[in-house]
Structure 1
Amino acid sequence: MPQALDRRLIAVKPITVPTTGRGVHRDIERGTERGIPLQVKVTAPVDGTDLPVLVFSHGNAWSMDGYGPLVDRWAAAGFVVVQPTHLDSRRHGIGLDDPRFATIWRIRIADLHAVLDHLDDILDGADDHVPGLSARVDASRVAVVGHSWGGQSAAALLGARVLNAEGTPGEDFTHPSVTAGALIATTGTGDTLTPFALEHLPFMRPDYTTMSTPALVVAGGEDRSAMSTRGPDWFTDAYHLSPAPKRLLTIADGEHTLGGIAGEAVRETSDEDPERVALVADAVAAYLLDVLGDDTSAWQDLRQRASVSSGAFSIDSK
């Protein structure tokens, strides 16, 4: 079983981040409309200094309240974790048939930019409940991490672009403050999309050839998506098609939620396994601490574990 966490953590929510263009919430019964604010949750250790920042983009329909098994382990490892709630969250009720859905992929990326552009304000807001937190953060060391759709959103800040129907790359969404990232169970190339994905998710056409920022790609060996006609190798495209330096963690029996990373006993989880969740969380933390210049020992320990794991997981680098 995963080791219990003994480092004290604190979480602050919601903190509202200034942004525009996030659409409106329509209350049909009341006949009213109101803007949908961008809100985030900040989770941090109560001790420590020079803490790096990890901005996490959730998968489709989730929110800042999900992914506790990952976030707590990242904060315990010394990260200040910032989780925005994107427009596709269930709490906003924007489904595939809503005309606003077509632009949510862009708004997700804009959300991440807004978080990074207003990071000082977010930390100041957290200071109201965690006095002195902003002074303990090293804002020069920032990483973005995402799961599933959140992985594609995070990849855009690392340099990936979105191809249109003609195969032409779209605009560059990289952010200058991001120095590393991790993509968990993230969309592959769009040339094998199913008819459903082509109709409803045409933005699921990432171009990783321009994603030059260092990143860890995490893929499950049993992750079979209904959005692609390919098998689990689809989720390794971000590693194989992007320029170095990159690392790939493949978890042999992992499915799309990799043991339940969004939370314990949630309905999306098809391969409940707390040890697998801990592996994902600890691998991301170890990788980021390594590339951000904090600590190389945890990553070296993980590589040693991989060498004796009897194929349970493997690590590749380029």
Structure 2
Amino acid sequence: MDHALIGQAKDLPVFTPTPFLTLAPIVLPSPGRPVDLHLKVSAPTTGTRLPIILLSHGHGRSNGPLATFWASHGFVVIQPTHLSSKSLSLDPKTYPEAPLFWRSRVEDMKLIIDKLDFIENEFPGLRGRIDKSRIAVAGHSLGAHTAGMLLGAQLKDPIDGKVVSMVEPRIKTGILLAPAGSGESLHAAAKSNPAYSALWGPIFTEMRTPALMVVGDNDISAHFTERGADWHADPYFLSEGKKSLLSLSGGEHGLGGIAGWDAGETTDESVEMVEVVRRMTVAYLRSELYPEDKAWEEACQALGSLGAIGKVESK
């Protein structure tokens, strides 16, 4: 059932949802990692050759409203618990890469792709139903940083200054939700804080895999930069290749509440905005993974007729 408060978002086209199941934890043995990698997997109860979304959480716990929606619309959604998760709260004094664990987060996603056979065998009824050639990645905030690196964004290692590339060619497209912008725009306090070192030197020019950036036009991150909300759109403007940018009117860093219904970290709670994100992202992924599918074109046309709720541009 659609939420009663989705407002104008009800006019964005979307196909009928189907039942899905969620299983957690699926535990991937991870030698050399402080703990084995725990996954939450959501998948439709019917259908074959199901596309995959790897969903990277922010510097917190979950992205429930997105995962459930995507799973009910035909995707197998895999959510890892990264080492930066609050549920683990690993001691930053013990791990040099803490608290963000930027490299480990990317390695988690690569491990998941390596172990897709294991994952589908652990999920009852999923064996043989996954299309391993259609993989997307998505992430919110710090998760967008992870997704961006898998799509080709590079990083100057804060320890030795070497440029790090961890692009994953098995991933065909992605979604960056409220991503961080250029390191050159960080203010002095952020540039001197080692906790933010992964944000000091992102290089977006090599992020060539098709991607959608989703930003809020009121996402002011004063703890990072003196620039306005446009800072979060840098990955769109500074990257190469086929890209789209969805800007949400009134959106702050929570994009209406995508981290979880009634989550305390949400400062801009809006069921309508969350529904816009859900419907537009599922349309984007459908069309990128299945080029003959016109879902994204139709969704953009519908959004354009709704006025000030948000806008899309592409290149």
TM-score (norm 1): 0.88
1:186 is aligned, of 179, 183, 189, to: 179
- Supply the distance in 2 between the matched residues of 1:293 and 1:178 (Cα, whole angstroms): 14
What's 1:26 paired with?
none
Deviation of 1:95 (Å): 5.7
- Supply the distance in 1 between the matched residues of 2:214 and 2:280 (Cα, whole angstroms): 9
Instruction: Assess if the C-alpha contact under 8 Å between 2:59 and 2:100 holds in 1.
Output: no
What's 2:74 paired with?
78
Residue 82 of structure 1: SS of its match in structure 2?
strand
Return closer, same or farther for 1:58/1:96 CA change in 2, 3 Å cut-off: same
What's 2:197 paired with?
202
What's 2:48 paired with?
49
Deviation of 1:276 (Å): 0.7
2:306 is aligned, of 300, 304, 309, to: 309
Return closer, same or farther for 1:185/1:95 CA change in 2, 3 Å cut-off: farther
What's 1:151 paired with?
144
Return closer, same or farther for 1:20/1:201 CA change in 2, 3 Å cut-off: farther
What's 1:269 paired with?
266
- Supply the distance in 1 between the matched residues of 2:120 and 2:190 (Cα, whole angstroms): 38
Alignment length, in residue pairs? 299
Deviation of 1:97 (Å): 5.5
Instruction: Assess if the C-alpha contact under 8 Å between 2:54 and 2:77 holds in 1.
Output: yes
Deviation of 1:166 (Å): 11
Instruction: Assess if the C-alpha contact under 8 Å between 1:88 and 1:95 holds in 2.
Output: no
- Runs of 5+ consecutive residues of structure 1 not aligned to the other structure: 24-35
Instruction: Assess if the C-alpha contact under 8 Å between 2:156 and 2:164 holds in 1.
Output: no
Amino acid at match of 1:317: S
Instruction: Assess if the C-alpha contact under 8 Å between 2:52 and 2:130 holds in 1.
Output: yes
1:222 is aligned, of 202, 218, 223, to: 218
Task: Output the aligned Cα RMSD.
Answer: 2.1
- Supply the distance in 2 between the matched residues of 1:221 and 1:159 (Cα, whole angstroms): 25
Deviation of 1:155 (Å): 0.8
Instruction: Assess if the C-alpha contact under 8 Å between 1:18 and 1:114 holds in 2.
Output: no
Deviation of 1:57 (Å): 0.3
Return closer, same or farther for 1:95/1:237 CA change in 2, 3 Å cut-off: farther
What's 2:170 paired with?
177
Is 1:13 the equivalent of 2:24?
yes
1:240 is aligned, of 216, 237, 240, to: 237
Amino acid at match of 1:14: P
Instruction: Assess if the C-alpha contact under 8 Å between 1:10 and 1:46 holds in 2.
Output: yes
Instruction: Assess if the C-alpha contact under 8 Å between 1:169 and 1:207 holds in 2.
Output: no
Instruction: Assess if the C-alpha contact under 8 Å between 1:59 and 1:150 holds in 2.
Output: yes
- Supply the distance in 1 between the matched residues of 2:181 and 2:55 (Cα, whole angstroms): 19
Instruction: Assess if the C-alpha contact under 8 Å between 2:154 and 2:202 holds in 1.
Output: yes
> Deviation string for 1:81-135 (max 9, x for gaps)?
0000011111212365654416711111111111111111111111xxx32x131
**Taking CA–CA contacts closer than 8 Å with sequence separation of 6 or more, which of the two structures ends up with the larger relative contact order?**
2
Deviation of 1:240 (Å): 0.4
Greater Cα offset, 50-59 or 4-13: 4-13
